Amino acid sequence: SGLGPCSTLGWPEKTADLRTFYPTSVLHTGYDIIFFWVARMMMFGLYAMDGVQPFDKVVLSGLVRDQFGKKMSKSKGNVVEPLEWMDKYGSDAVRFGLLRGANPGTDQAIADDWIQGARNFANKVWNATRFAMMNGASVPAELPAADRLTVEDRWILSRLNEVVAEVDALYEDFQFAKAMEALYHFAWDEVCDWYIE
C-alpha cells in the first residue's frame, strides 16, 4: 500500500498517467493509518520517485463509527454498507450526511436517522427547485439589472454571494462539516423557508 500513489499509475514505467497524476496535492485519510500507510507512502514515494513526495498536504478526518460510537467491524456485524444506503436514501444524501459530520480529526457516529435527515434535505431542495420551475423560474444567461429585481431578490442574491464566499473559504481550509452546515441553513432556512415560501 505504501507504493499505491505511484504503482497504481504504472510505476516503475514512466507512464503518461504517472507524469500527469504524480504527485497529487492532497491526501485525505483517517488518523488511524498515519504510521501504517501515510508514512510508508511518503517514504516509498520519496525513494521510488527520485525524491518527489506523493502529496503536499495530508488532511486527517475522523473515523466513521456505528450509531453507538463503536468502531465498525464485520465480526461485530455493525458495518454500514454504503451502497445499500445509496439505494435506500440516494447518493447525494449519503454524501451530504457523511460530509455534514466530517469535522477534522473527530470521529462521527453514523446511523440511518442521520442519513434520513440528509435525504429530507435533498428532497427539500428538489421540491423547492421543482416549485420554482413550475412558477416560471429559469436560469437566464444573465441576471436582470438590479433595478428590475425586487428587494427580496436582491437580498437572496446578496446572501448567496456571502454563502458562496464562506463555503469556498471553508473548502480551502478543509472544513467540510462547516461548509455543509452553511449550505444547509442557507438552502433550508433562507431560500426555502423565507424566500420561496
pLDDT in tens, 7-24: 999 999 999 999 999 999
Phi, psi torsion values for 33, nearest 5 degrees? -120, 20
| This prediction's pTM | 0.82
Q: How confident is the model at residue 181 (pLDDT cuts 50, 70, 90)?
A: very high
Read off the C-alpha cell for 52. 518527489
Angle at 153 between CA 181 and CA 178, to 5 degrees: 10
Q: How confident is the model at residue 129 (pLDDT cuts 50, 70, 90)?
A: very high
Read off the C-alpha cell for 123. 428532497
Question: What 3-state DSSP class applies to 130?
Answer: helix
- How far are the Cα atoms of 48, 110, 147 from residue 45, in angstroms, in the given order? 5, 34, 58
* C-beta of residue 108 within 8 angstroms of C-beta of residue 65: yes
pLDDT in tens, 13-67: 999 999 999 999 999 988 888 888 999 999 999 999 999 999 999 998 888 898 9
